[in-house]
Amino acid sequence: MSKESKFLARVLRHQPELIGLKLGVGGWVLIDDLLRGMKRAGHRLSWEDLERIVQDNDKRRFTLSDDGKRIRAAQGHSVEVDLLLEPQEPPAELFHGTAKANLDSIWSDGIKAGRRQQVHLSSDPETATRVGQRHGRPVVLKVAADAMYEDGHLFWRADNGVWLTDYVPPQYLGF
C-alpha cells in the first residue's frame, strides 16, 4: 500500500481531524475538502491519484459515492461513525483471522471489536488467513453466523464485502 493510501486510511478511518475534516453522515466527506486537507498536510493528490488509490486498493478500503463527489472508508473505523448499512442475514459460516497468541483470550471472552467499532469477519478462510498474518502466526476461526443471527445478533456487510458484527461470543466459535 502506498504512503498516500496509508495516510488516506488513517484519515478516513481514525483521524479525520489530522487534515481538518469531520466525517459526515455515513462516514462520507467531500472529495474537494479531502484533497485540500491532504494538500495542507503535505500529501498532494489529484482527483486522478485518488481514483487510482481507490481502484488499486486490494482490500477495497475506500468507496466513492455514486455521484463521484464524496469518499469514505468502507469499514475499519475507530472513530464513531454510522455507515448507514442495513442489517443483513449472513451466510451460515464466516471466518475470523487472528494470531495464535490471541486464542486463549478469544476462547474465554469471544471476539471483541478492540480499537475498531465492530468485529470484522470474512466470507472465506483465505481472506481470514491473510488478515491473521498481520498479527503473527495466523489461525482461522469459523464463526457460526447463522446461529448467531438466529439468536438475535446483527450483521452488516460493508461496501467491500467485509461482514461486521458488534461481538462474537465464544460459543459460536470453532476451527
Residue 135 has pLDDT above 90, yes or no: no
- Relative to beta strand 70-73, strand 163-165 is unpaired
| Whether pTM exceeds 0.75 | yes
pLDDT top residue among 89 and 135: 89
**89: exposed, middle or buried (Cβ count in 10 Å: 0-12, 13-18, 19+):** exposed
* pLDDT band, very low/low/confident/very high, at 35 (cuts 50, 70, 90): very high
Q: Residue 2 has what pLDDT? A: 85
**CATH ID of 3-73, from 3.40.50.720, 2.40.50.140, 1.10.10.970, 3.30.230.10:** 1.10.10.970
**Domain 93-174 part of CATH 3.20.170.30:** yes
- At what angle are helices 47-56 and 31-40 packed, to 10 degrees? 100
Phi/psi class of residue 26: alpha, beta or left (left: φ > 0; alpha: ψ in -120 to 50)?
left
* pLDDT band, very low/low/confident/very high, at 136 (cuts 50, 70, 90): confident
* pLDDT band, very low/low/confident/very high, at 167 (cuts 50, 70, 90): very high
* pLDDT band, very low/low/confident/very high, at 120 (cuts 50, 70, 90): very high
Domain boundaries, the chain: 3-73, 93-174
Amino acid at 10: R
Residue 82 has pLDDT above 70, yes or no: yes
- pLDDT (tens digit, 9 = 90+) per residue, 44-62? 999 999 999 999 998 899 9
Q: Residue 1 has what pLDDT? A: 58
Q: How far apart are CA 6 and CA 10, in angstroms?
A: 6
Interacting residues of 77 by C-beta distance below 8 A, sequence separation 6+: 13, 14, 27, 83, 116, 117
Task: Tell me the three state secondary structure of residue 166.
Answer: coil
